[in-house]
Structure 1
Amino acid sequence: MLVGLLFGTFAVCLILGVPVGIALALASTAYLYAADIDLSVVAQFTYAGMDSFVLLCIPGFVLAGNLMNGGGITDQIVRFGNSLVGHVRGGLGLANVTGSMIFAGISGTAVAETASIGAVMIPAMRKSGYDAPFAAAVTAAASTVGPIIPPSVPMIIVGTLTGLSVGKMFLAGAVPGLLLGAGMMLTVYMLSRRRGYPKGTWQGFGEVLRSSRAAVWALLMTALILYGIVGGVFTPTEASVVAALYAFVVGLFVYKGFGLRDLPGIVLESAIGSGALILLVGFANVFGWILTSEQIPQAIAQAMLSVTENKYLILLMVNVLLLIVGTFMETIAALIILFPPLLAVAQAVGIDPIHFAIVVVLNLMIGLTTPPVGVCLFVAANIANVPLSAISRAIVPFLICNLIVLLLVSYLPWISLWLPSLYFN
């Protein structure tokens, strides 16, 4: 009865369009009130969920992304991508995906990537003769690379929940992220040839060199973060501070995209964005505590293991479950609620935890572009000014591509474990 109230309240809030964090808080409060449990529990577990040293890196990475974006990095990344592939059929679409792969090393979040790249690429693609739904679909689909290629906010959350090495997960996400980007570029090229989308002109190696000089600062930021964490120079939290300082210097003195007078606005925007994210983690912790007290995670684990102990079938079941969950639940909330019990199941059947973490994050990223409530779809549709139904149809080929990559990563563990095995023996 009480569990029904918990999930019923949560479902009604989502249907009414209540933000996921608030929906979690309201559902948890309704359960505690009906169970006659002191409501001070909400404050206690919300604070406990936010009281993590690793979570401190979220504001740093969000600030670094906003500083680099405010400094004009998005335009430079798009220019570099266009200089490489703009002359190929569907070149602007290919540049869109390429830009997202480079920008992934800055933002760490899919929604930020959709908004930043989309604001530049969607109008440019429409002006060049691409269909608006296609332009929006490419942007939304490519944004899923963001949390796979390091740095990754969802992987940081996983590290907070379980103690898994964030450095190992960052390395484990690199090859799947590149594979995801390559698959989407192939999809863009095939669709562009079939539909006769335009291609630009080759601007020469001189333009490639000039644009690379500007875009290299973004690539150096990714290398700095990875080397620092993997090499043990600094922790993920310290890496976020270094990244923010780096972005400040590059944005102010190299790109000169903002001045000191713009800094308070950028900091405020970053504080609001990261504050909302961390508060969501806190509310999700209350929800997760209730689920644990009702032994729902244990029930999920027992139910799955009662069906089969074959790790390949377990992976299939997890993929189906998370693809469904990812279509309506925010990524961070889904991770906090579901990852610990699913990890217990995975380890029980001999699945490597780092490999499993990449599979789960990739699943939930695909959910961000899955109709009917994929968040990235809403952002891209709003920028392109197209109805959700149109972008939902246009995203289908990219979803098929991403699902193929998901199956490869799920059933070929070496794709994600190869790089970590080189550095962590």
Structure 2
Amino acid sequence: MTAMAQLQSLTLDAGLHPGVSSLRRSLAVSCDAALGTLVEAVAATLVAVEIAILFSGIVARYCFDSPLVWSDELASMLFLWLAMLGAAVALRRGEHMRMTAVVALLPGGVQALLEVVATGAALTFLLCVAWPAYEFALEELFITTPALEITNAWRAAALPTGLGLMAAFAALRLLRTASLRLVALGLVAVAAVVAVFWLSEPVLRQLGNLNLLIFFVGVAGACVFSGVPIAFAFGLAVLGYLALATSTPLMVLVGRIDEGMSHLILLSVPLFVFLGLLIEMTGMARAMVGFLASLLGHVRGGLHYVLIGAMYLVSGISGSKAADMAAVAPVLFPEMKARGAKEGDLVALLSATGAQTETIPPSLVLITIGSVTGVSIAALFTGGLLPGVALAVLLCFVVWHRYRNEDLSHVRRATKSEIGRAFVIAFPAIALPFVIRAAVVEGVATATEVSTIGIVYAVLAGLLIYRQFDWRRLKPMLIETASLSGAILLIIGTATGMAWGLTQSGFSRSLAAAMTGLPGGAVTFMAVSIVAFVVLGSVLEGIPAIVLFGPLLFPIARAVGIHEVHYAMVVILAMGIGLFAPPFGVGYYAACAIGRVNPADGIRPILGYVLALFIGTIIVAAVPWISIGFLN
């Protein structure tokens, strides 16, 4: 009898023991629901409390000239709890970012096994760093916060707590979604891989920097392409490297994760995510789209121009591409289909506008770049406006060419009074992006705090102007905000650990020397960066790629004479092409899901739009003024 047959005969199978299986799954579902409800409630409350703290700080400082000296400290302390609990919620809901394009090509049985392996791999990482996280929290007992004068362990305790909750949710996920036979097979596979690496430790320690290739390319790549969530793929790679190839204590890894997730500027991530959900719920996005449609609805391809313009305006509010597309597509797609537009072209343009608007503030990628590279957030917000316009012009040219012969005999042109009425209705929504930017530039609020001004503005507009505010949706929106933010922030934390490992190994110095020595100087470096980030955007998505490679490449860009804001815009646009272009771009499939269109229908129409985006990126790279012309 083979080993596989022995395992199958000794392992309980759901089909052979339906009563046991049913009881097991029922208990797992009950425990998961009870624990999940509690964690979601706390995470949602933390989002609301953070909004209240930061807005109170603005009011106290700007209106009463009496700053709350403790507000930033308390917000930072609660932020780590929000990030870790949000990551736990995301794991429970299966919302961590992952690469599934390769797994989707495999047979169903293999997919099910890899799903267990992915969860088992995440569980392995969580169990390995749980004790170092506990030790890290104990070390923080001896540090007292300056304003609140309490031990920093209250903040650091979020790390072992969040890791423990994620481990619990991962275990419950295995128990409630797979048969014990499949779970056993998957965990045995994970254990076998771990054992091979563990036994290879003496050999690995003699390989030097070759371990960077083994762990940061081999292990991380294998995990990503097998469907392991990106945050845990990064975490496993750096965990294996530090544990097996160096003498670094694992508590250092926990410290780097803490450092990556604790930048106060990153608190704007959950707040802008919530703002994006809020403008959709209050009808502000619909009002903006309605005004643009009244202006251009009678022009050939007019609603396609409206889609481009609406994505530009909405991106200036929400900062989240998924929120942008979800706000615009349901409003425009039905009418565009009624005019004869093909579904494939609609989703292709929606995806292309997602890439086009990546630089428009307050983009989460802009905020991430500022936090990991030290580039001014205000400068990035200012520099991001024109690159989006440049790409919009090229997309509009493609639309004009495709729809220059569209039959509009059945379309009625809006009267001036109708346009004026639509403008009046949309004006409060259109004004919001300018209010946000003015608050940062004029010093009313920091880049972290300004999102709370947008939130209060949107709430008042929804209640008093648009009269569209569903109180029942607030809790699900707060939970969704915590989940998405936790998934993003955990990636930033583990990628920070990986970037630290690359730096300590001397790789960053070698990379800097190689890149600065390229023939052609700045031009060659920019060209290589565009190609590299198109690939990285398709594989890792924007934020993980920026966190991992931003600290390495931005200093090189400065060394070869490229303005850091200019370089940031080019990098973001290149990543956007990779993120929203098929066959690997995750953003493209998100656009298809939002538009409810078969992904195969959009492959051919998107080629022209991707070409326009690529030409636009080259133009932005060649003309620095587009990015830095309005900087002081």
Which bin holds the TM-score, normalised by the shorter protein? over 0.9
Which residue is 1:281 aligned to? 492
Aligned residue among 236, 240, 250 for 1:26: 236
- 2:366 matched to 1:155? yes
Q: 1:397: how far off?
A: 0.7
Amino acid at match of 2:216: L
Equivalent position to 1:295, from 506, 521, 535 = 506
- Conservation of the 8 A alpha-carbon contact between 1:106 and 1:222: yes
Shift of 1:199: 7.8
The 3-state SS of whatever aligns with 2:630 is helix
Partner Cα separation in structure 2 for residue 370 and residue 86 of structure 1: 28
Q: Does 1:171 align with 2:382?
A: yes
Query: 1:125 is matched with which residue?
Result: 336
Q: Which residues of 2 match residues 59-78 of structure 1 at below 5 A?
A: 59-78=270-289
The alignment partner of 1:61 has SS state of helix
In the alignment, the residues of structure 2 paired with residue 61 and residue 168 of structure 1 have an alpha-carbon distance, to the nearest angstrom, of 18
Q: What is the CA–CA distance in structure 1 between the aligned matches of 2:546 and 2:563, rounded to whole Å?
A: 17
Deviation at 1:194, TM superposition (A): 5.8
The 5-angstrom pairing of residues 25-424 of structure 1 reads 25-35=235-245, 37-193=248-404, 200-308=411-519, 310-420=521-631, 424=632
Distance across 1 between alignment mates of 2:572 and 2:607:
20
Shift of 1:138: 0.8
Which amino acid letter does the alignment assign opposite residue 413 of structure 1?
A: P
CA distance in 2, matches of 1:73, 1:220: 11
Judge conservation of contact 1:69–1:116 (CA < 8 Å) in 2: yes
Any unmatched runs of 5+ in structure 1?
none
Change (3 A) 1:43 1:119: farther
Q: Which residue of 2 aligns with 1:14?
A: 224
**In 1, Cα distance between equivalents of 2:599 and 2:221:** 21
Q: 1:21 to 1:267 in 2, by over 3 A?
A: same
For normalisation by structure 1, the TM-score amounts to 0.93
1:270-291 per-position Cα deviation (integer Å, ceiling 9, x unaligned) = 2222222222211211121122
Give the counterpart letter for 1:291 in structure 2: L
- Secondary structure of the structure 1 residue equivalent to 2:404: helix
User: Retained in 2: the 8 A contact 1:50–1:278?
Assistant: yes
Are the counterparts in 2 of residues 140 and 376 from structure 1 also a CA contact under 8 Å? yes
Contact persistence 2:253–2:497 (CA under 8 A): yes
Cα pair distance change 1:71/1:303, threshold 3 Å: same
Q: For residues 477 and 325 of structure 2, what CA distance do their matches in structure 1 show? A: 18
How far apart are residue 218 of structure 1 and its match?
A: 2.4
- Alpha-carbon RMSD across the aligned residues, in angstroms, is 2.0
Q: Who wins on radius of gyration, i.e. which is larger?
A: 2
Deviation at 1:136, TM superposition (A): 0.3
CA distance in 2, matches of 1:198, 1:273: 45
Deviating runs (4+, > 4 A) in structure 1? 194-199
- Tell me the SS of whatever aligns to 2:588: helix
With over 3 angstroms needed to count, the CA separation of the structure-2 counterparts of 1:331 and 1:406, relative to structure 1, is same
For residues 196 and 300 of structure 1, what CA distance do their matches in structure 2 show? 55
Instruction: Give CA-to-partner distance per residue, 1:102-136, whole Å, 9 cap, x none.
Output: 11111112232223322333344233321111010
Q: Is the 8 A contact 2:272 2:320 kept in 1?
A: no
Contact 1:173–1:416 under 8 Å retained in 2: yes
Counterpart contact for 1:89–1:192, Cα < 8 Å: yes
How many angstroms apart in 2 are the aligned matches of 1:151 and 1:33? Answer: 38
- Structure 1 residues 258, 189: closer, same or farther in 2, change over 3 A? same
Partners of 1:118 and 1:375 lie apart in 2 by 17
1:2 and 2:2 matched = no
Letter in 2 for 1:207: E
What's the CA shift for 1:250? 1.5
Q: Which has the higher contact order (CA 8 A, sep 6+)?
A: 1
- CA change 1:199–1:84 in 2 (3 A) is farther
Moved more, 288-297 or 148-157: 288-297
Alignment check: 8 A CA contact 2:301 2:406 kept: no
Moved more, 5-14 or 196-205: 196-205
Deviation at 1:318, TM superposition (A): 1.3
For the residue of structure 1 that corresponds to 2:382, the secondary structure is helix
Q: 1:195 to 1:395 in 2, by over 3 A?
A: farther
Partner of 2:434, secondary structure, is: helix
**Could you say what secondary structure the match of 1:395 adopts?**
helix
Residues 235-278 of structure 1: per-residue CA shift (max 9 Å, x gap):
10111111111122112322222233332222222222222222
Q: C-alpha distance in 1, partners of 2:596/2:408?
A: 20
Write the distance in 2 (CA, Å) between the matches of 1:198 and 1:144.
33
Shift of 1:13: 2.1
2: distance between equivalents of 1:68 and 1:350?
Answer: 40
Report how far residue 352 of structure 1 moved. Answer: 1.2
Is the 2:287–2:429 Cα contact (8 Å) retained in structure 1?
no
- TM-superposed deviation, 1:23: 2.0
Contact 1:297-1:338 at 8 Å conserved across structures: no
Take 2:522 and 2:553, find their aligned partners in 1: how far apart are those partners?
12
CA-CA distance at 1:333 after TM superposition: 0.9
Report the 3-state secondary structure (helix = DSSP H, G, I; strand = E; otherwise coil) of the residue aligned with 2:449.
Answer: helix
Q: Matched residues in 2 for 1:324 and 1:357: separation?
A: 16
Query: What letter matches 2:541 in structure 1?
Result: E
Q: In structure 2, what is the Cα distance between the partners aligned to 1:277 and 1:245? A: 24
Q: 1:129 is matched by which residue type in structure 2?
A: G
Q: CA deviation at 1:196?
A: 6.3
Change (3 A) 1:385 1:62: closer
Query: Is the 2:276–2:320 Cα contact (8 Å) retained in structure 1?
Result: no
Distance 2:407 2:233 in 1: 45
Does the Cα contact within 8 Å between 1:105 and 1:219 map onto a contact in 2? no
State the 1:404 CA deviation. 1.3
TM-score of the aligned structures, taking structure 2 as reference length: 0.64
Cα distance in structure 1, aligned partners of 2:224 and 2:360: 30
Q: 1:195 Cα shift?
A: 7.1
Partners of 2:352 and 2:408 in 1: how far apart? Answer: 18
Deviations 1:344-385 (A, max 9, x none): 221111111121111111211222212222122101222344
Q: Following the alignment from structure 1 to structure 2, what is the Cα–Cα distance between the partners of residues 144 and 217?
A: 26
